[in-house]
Chain A
């Protein structure tokens, strides 16, 4: 038994050393964000959302995505940003966390970018707590910065709720 398992464990993970990683980009309040493309299940434009009474403010409601109930999260509220004042269409990115689907409602979804690890930086320590809690780091793009969001931390509500309290 032990003999058979030994071989598989050691070799270095090829993904660890990869130079570039692909991100789905989106904007919230003119800030560019990115989520690893493999985490994204779907991108939706406007969708009928049923509001959920008594839910935390960042929960916009739930929607039906091909027979599955998806919880819509208002990313502005989640990140502590002011509500949108224009009437522009919003879009959302669907990601799975812990067996449940969430739809992250953002201002707009951009293209998929392959970003090199060379342009990656850690979070500046001066970054606001709300951002720091959900950001994995920053990519320096031409002319703007991209904040990498960690879906798990973003949607780990058990912890988020505790933190909020």
Chain B
């Protein structure tokens, strides 16, 4: 049911109930002006809302009633029982119409001219009119009386539809009621249900109604505050208890603990409301929008029953409405635009809500045009938010995030719908204010999705308690990703670039902020001597090699995330996590964005709650930090695009050799006296099979005693061992291959770990072990089919040389191109391929662009493409799929590549 209508129905039925009572009171105290104006106001509201909702019949009845009340108020008419019953009659008619409305969502046919006439006559002539109208009125009461009888019954029973059957006999007795009978019978599905509940609350007559009561929100809020305090006191008590052994309070405190927990949960539940309440107005908004903008819009809402704290709900309501409106207005194309783009006429806005570990995730997605990168770029430049050069270095996502900046609207013209000064920046601020995050995922032409993550409740949050320079702080658990203990002796060492601390964390450079500096806790402090000492230390901190210096190396790092920007906060100590009640900061501190509040801990002390958002912002503008943080990591990644883990080993001399680690299945050590000779080949029993052993060129015969390391290569059910002298290391490095593969068995040599290293041509040795290693496989895969033609596009000679033999022995006829443009020339030249394997990170045209170009070219548009990259994030995968790659394979993962190719080709063949 229309939300406005249902709200109106609820309000009006409540109003009518009040009117009934008050009219009767008025009858007894005809001179009570306050009562009268109250009554008048109610009636007036009903009338006004009817007009607003377009309910003419109801409006005219209410209007006539209001007329009389107006005359009462102005003293033109006296309040007489006759007049009151006339107005009550008017109320009953309103009620009847309301009930019909509730069931059918439209006004009943017909009119109430008779009643209105009598009401008007009374308004005109007062008591005297009654005389004239008397015969009529006399006749009517019976009729109206019956309707009233039915109405009453209906009012009681209809809300609870199960009672419908009991209602039937009554309905049959009353002719008018029969006309109304469809009311209870039509079950407007869910809407009626919720309606029924609302009604039941106000009805107060039925048994169901007794099961729920209306409670003032303020009362609930007070309860919540008190429970929060109780939780704190309990925590305090527990803390004291922990310090005492064998206390007689242990048992009762445990009980108290449980009871308080349950109480807290219970009170929290009373505050929970389905998120659908915040959505209720959206269908109406979308409907109006679709008319105004002449778009066909389908609003899909999922998970409306997901519950969250009403305080959060209130705060999220407006941002949500705004975002949905935005999606419909900016996101979706016009109908014509959609047809042009080959999309279904009706645009879709999907709203989804679900729980995810203490949070609510709400996503708003549309299948519209997506965020236009170029438009955003222009806007960024014209607004001076960033320079063109800066934009060049940013990823699409970073650029898209600019829409969350103040004063940014992508709609070039401000429609009545959007552009009311509530920009996405306000949305973001509002969401972040309640400890939530909003992320954005948009593909031009495909649509946009916003993902909002908000805490279930604001009142009590779980926080990590940390200490720095003797002061304790709380950090909301929500924004804590992980804790890292840094010390000089562990692998996690804080390093410094020009005094800026950073931490290497899983191949990423994590920017660090020292809470001590941030909070200016180093400021001279007479209270504590250690503080002064630490100050001296921090001055001499520049040299990380200083050992034994607590400040330089030891400490805990709280890794936090704000949006997509993660950073570490250096603290001295980390305590427990504690459930805390967030209290607002005193007004005097409110300008300080570092704190989101303060709280009282279990031991009774006050601590400040750190706001990671504010810290990120204070630590260089958040956006810049965010962007540059991401850019550096991206650049980092792209520089590392050719980084491969190489296994370095030694065989036949000092010259190190290397082989991509990805190709090796296992490292083993074999006992040489177990080596047997079979058919002129060295073999060893390995995992119940005979594994051929291959030696490198120039190593001569195997020794007969001792142990020797073996690199094991596996493929399907075949295994091969390559005997080496010594395994040196695994090195991850960017490869610079000097192509000098003059000698058989080497792809070339590269500088690895500062030494010239020969890179092994694995394919050569594989075929040494089994002459049919790849051949058999190829025939397995494709039977008698002729070899599939494969185009390999990769700028790196190393990979071309590594993959070409691998692929050709796998049964493909491989052609190589060193760049995307070269490949496109081949396309124009009319060469034909069955499948294309392309690198992503290439100078000039990237793999993504190449794929886009290929998909547009008619020649190759049907050729399946597999992307190859050494760096694959989910986003890359998505992007790859979007531009037309059927699969995305990590470089040097031969299995995966062959699998992907096999799949690609069989799909094509299957389709053919």
Residues of chain A touching chain B, judged by Cβ–Cβ distance below 8 Å, are 1, 3-4, 48, 50-56, 59, 61-64, 67, 69, 71, 98, 100, 102, 157-158, 161
For residue B473, which residue of chain A has the nearest CB?
A53
Which of A3, A4, A63 makes the CB contact (< 8 A) with B606?
A63
Q: Find out whether the CB atom of B471 lies under 8 angstroms from the CB atom of A67.
A: no
* In the complex with contacts A3-B33, A50-B607, A56-B229 CB distance below 8 A: no
In the assembled complex, which residues on chain B have CB atoms less than 8 Å from the CB atom of A59?
A: 586, 588-589
Q: Are B233 and A71 in contact (CB under 8 A)?
A: no
Contact A53–B519 (Cβ < 8 Å): yes
Query: Provided the pairs A62-B598, A67-B232, A157-B587 are in contact, do residues A48 and B605 lie with their beta carbons within 8 angstroms?
Result: yes
| Residues on the A chain within 8 Å of B34, using CB | 1, 4
Nearest residue in B to A56 (C-beta to C-beta)? B588
Q: Check A69–B600 contact: CB distance below 8 A.
A: yes
Interface size on B, residues (CB 8 A): 28
Give the nearest-CB partner of A62 in chain B.
Answer: B606
**Binary interface profile of B, 43-70, with partner A (CB < 8 Å = 1, else 0)?**
0000000000000000000000000000
Residues of B within 8 A of A71 (CB): 586, 588-589
Instruction: Report chain A residues within 8 Å CB of B604.
Output: 64
Q: Is B250 an interface residue (CB 8 A)?
A: no
CB of B229 within 8 A of CB of A67, answer: yes
B589 to chain A: closest residue by CB: A55
In the complex, what distance in Å separates the CA atom of A138 from the CA atom of B724?
97
Selected from A64, A67, A100, A157, the residue in CB contact (under 8 A) with B605 is A64
Instruction: Judge whether B475 is part of the interface by a CB distance below 8 angstroms.
Output: no
Q: How far is the CA of A92 from the CA of B205 in the complex (A)?
A: 57
> 12 A-B contacts, Cβ less than 8 Å apart?
A48-B605, A50-B607, A51-B471, A53-B520, A55-B592, A59-B586, A59-B589, A67-B229, A67-B232, A69-B598, A71-B589, A161-B591
Query: Are B588 and A69 closer than 8 Å at their CB atoms?
Result: no
User: Contact between B37 and A62 (Cβ–Cβ < 8 Å)?
Assistant: no
A157 to B521, CA, bound (A): 24
Contact flags B1-41 to A (C-beta < 8 A → 1, else 0): 00000000000000000000000000000000110010000
Docked CA distance A63–B605 (Å): 7
Query: Which residues does chain B contribute within 8 Å of A102, judged by CB atoms?
Result: 586
Distance of A63 Cα from B598 Cα, bound (Å): 10
Residues of A within 8 A of B587 (CB): 98, 100, 157-158
With both chains docked as a complex, state the minimum distance between the C-beta of A127 and any C-beta of chain B, in angstroms. 25
What is the interface of chain A mostly: helix, strand, loop, or mixed?
Answer: mixed
CB distance from A101 to the nearest CB of B (A): 9
Quick check: is B242 within 8 A (CB to CB) of the other chain?
no
The 6 closest A-B pairs by CB, nearest first: A53-B519, A71-B586, A157-B588, A62-B606, A50-B606, A64-B600
Q: Please indicate the chain A residues that have their CB under 8 angstroms from the CB of B583 in the complex.
A: 69
B positions within 8 Å CB-CB of A: 33-34, 37, 229, 232-233, 471-472, 519-521, 583, 586-589, 591-592, 594-595, 598-600, 604-608
Q: Which of A56, A62, A71, A161 has the most chain B CB atoms inside 10 A of its CB?
A: A62
| Closest beta carbon of chain A to B228's beta carbon, Å | 9
Q: B606 to A53, Cβ gap below 8 A?
A: no
CB of A125 to closest CB in B, whole Å: 29
Alpha-carbon distance A53/B609, docked complex (angstroms): 11
A-B contacts counted at CB < 8 A amount to 66
Give the chain B neighbours of A4 by CB distance below 8 A.
Answer: 33-34
| Contact A54–B229 (Cβ < 8 Å) | no
The interface centre, meaning the residue of B520, B586, B587, B591 with most chain A CB atoms within 10 A of its CB, is B586
Given contacts A71-B586, A98-B587, contact A50 B33 (CB under 8 A): no
- CB-defined contacts of A51 to chain B, threshold 8 Å: 471
- A1-B33, A4-B33, A71-B586 are known contacts. Are A53 and B521 too (CB-CB below 8 A)? yes
Determine the distance from Cα of A55 to Cα of B519 in the docked complex, in whole angstroms.
Answer: 10
- Residues of A close to B605: CB separation below 8 A: 48, 50, 64
A54 proximity list for chain B (CB < 8 A): 519-520, 592, 594
Give CA–CA (A69, B605) in the complex, Å. 9
Chain B residues within 8 Å of A55, by CB: 588-589, 592
CB distance from A45 to the nearest CB of B (A): 17
- List the B side residues contacting A62 at CB < 8 Å: 586, 598, 606, 608
For the complex, what is the distance from the CA of A79 to the CA of B350, rounded to whole Å?
59
**Further 18 A-B residue pairs, CB within 8 A, beyond A52-B595, A54-B594, A157-B587:** A1-B34, A1-B37, A4-B34, A52-B608, A53-B521, A55-B588, A55-B589, A55-B592, A59-B588, A59-B589, A62-B598, A64-B605, A64-B606, A69-B586, A69-B599, A98-B587, A100-B587, A158-B587
**A162–B37 alpha-carbon span in the complex (Å):** 47
A15 to chain B, nearest CB (A): 28
Bound CA–CA A165/B229 (angstroms): 38
- Identify the interface centre among A50, A51, A53, A98: most chain B CB within 10 Å of its CB: A53
A11 to B34, CA, bound (A): 23
Instruction: List the A side residues contacting B37 at CB < 8 Å.
Output: 1
Residues in A whose Cβ lies below 8 Å from that of B588: 55-56, 59, 71, 157, 161
Distance from A84 Cβ to chain B, minimum over Cβ atoms (Å): 13
Alpha-carbon gap, A55 to B229, bound state (A): 26
A81 vs chain B, min Cβ distance (A):
19
B607 CB contacts on chain A under 8 angstroms:
50
Interface hub of A3, A48, A54, A158 (most chain B Cβ within 10 A): A54
Return B212 CB to nearest CB of chain A, in Å. 32
> In the docked arrangement, what's the CA distance between A139 and B600, Å?
40
- Tell me the smallest distance from the CB of B3 to a CB of chain A, in Å: 33
Contact partners of A69 in chain B: CB under 8 A:
583, 586, 598-600, 606
A48: B residues at CB distance < 8 A: 605
Q: Smallest CB-CB separation from A63: which chain B residue?
A: B606
B600 touches A53 (CB 8 A): no
Output the nearest chain B residue to A48 by Cβ-Cβ distance: B605
> In the complex, which residues of chain A have a beta carbon less than 8 angstroms from the beta carbon of B33?
1, 3-4
Residue of A nearest to B38 (CB): A1
B471 and A50 within 8 A (CB): yes
A52, B600: Cβ atoms under 8 Å? no
Pairwise interchain contact B471-A53, C-beta atoms closer than 8 A: yes
CB neighbours (8 Å) of B600 from chain A are 64, 67, 69
Question: In the bound complex, how far is the Cα of B587 from the Cα of A55, in angstroms?
Answer: 11
Give Cα A1 to B41, complex, Å: 12
Complex formed: what's the CA distance from A59 to B37 in Å?
A: 52
Closest A residue to B233 by CB, please name it. A67
Per the bound structure, the CA–CA distance linking A100 and B37 in Å amounts to 39
CB distance from B385 to the nearest CB of A (A): 28
User: Which has the most chain A C-beta neighbours within 10 Å: B519, B521, B588?
Assistant: B588
Q: Which residues of B contact A98 (CB under 8 A)?
A: 587
In angstroms, how far is the closest chain B Cβ from the Cβ of A5?
Answer: 10
Name the distance in Å between A56's Cβ and chain B's nearest Cβ: 6
Q: How far is the CA of A128 from the CA of B645 in the complex (A)?
A: 74
B548 to chain A, nearest CB (A): 28
Instruction: Return chain B residues, CB-CB under 8 Å to A157.
Output: 587-588
Chain B nearest CB from A46 CB (Å) reads: 14
Residue of A nearest to B608 (CB): A52
Distance in angstroms from B364 CB to nearest chain A CB is 36
Q: How far is the CA of A163 from the CA of B221 in the complex (A)?
A: 36
**B233, B471, B587, B605: most-surrounded residue (chain A CB, <10 A):** B587
* Separation of A69 and B229 alpha carbons in the complex (Å): 12
- B471: chain A residues within 8 A (beta carbon): 50-51, 53
Please name the residue on chain A nearest to B525 by beta carbon.
Answer: A51
Please, how many angstroms separate the alpha-carbon atoms of A69 and B597 in the complex?
Answer: 10
Residues of B within 8 A of A53 (CB): 471, 519-521, 594, 608
In Å, the complex CA distance between A161 and B591 comes to 11
Residues of chain A with a CB closer than 8 A to B519's CB: 53-54
For residue A61, which residues in chain B have a CB less than 8 angstroms away from its CB? 606
Chain B residues in 8 Å Cβ range of A3: 33
Q: Cα distance A59–B589 when bound, in Å?
A: 9
Q: How far is the CA of A50 from the CA of B470 in the complex (A)?
A: 10
Separation of A100 and B599 alpha carbons in the complex (Å): 14
- A64 CB to closest chain B CB (Å) equals 5
Give complex CA distance A157, B587 in Å: 7
